[in-house]
Structure 1
């Protein structure tokens, strides 16, 4: 079973055996764990995030 890439949701924190992870961090986790995190709103799959404009890099407002 290969790992799934997820991004921790903004404003969320997740603690794993590898450490403390904050919003915006990308991690590779086992599929069951990824599904749980997505279901609880703690993370989004990286593939899903690429389709949503809000998940793209922040744009600067210098006008």
Structure 2
């Protein structure tokens, strides 16, 4: 994901890669990257929206690790 800014598309918060039978979703939340591996049949919108559900968990992890 660190190469994405070279495309000059602005700040990227997610990347989605689709393969034959697998979808890989990378979400940047705070200073963490969350990688989700799902079936190619999974809803991309639902996978991207997991950011909202994971945000509070990531904040708690960052706080516990002293990263916040």
Larger RCO (CA under 8 A, 6+ residues apart): 1
TM-score for both structures, normalised by structure 1:
0.28
TM-score for both structures, normalised by structure 2:
0.26
Q: Looking at CA atoms only, which structure, 1 or 2, has the larger radius of gyration?
A: 2
If each structure's helix is expressed as a fraction of its own residues, which one has the higher value?
2
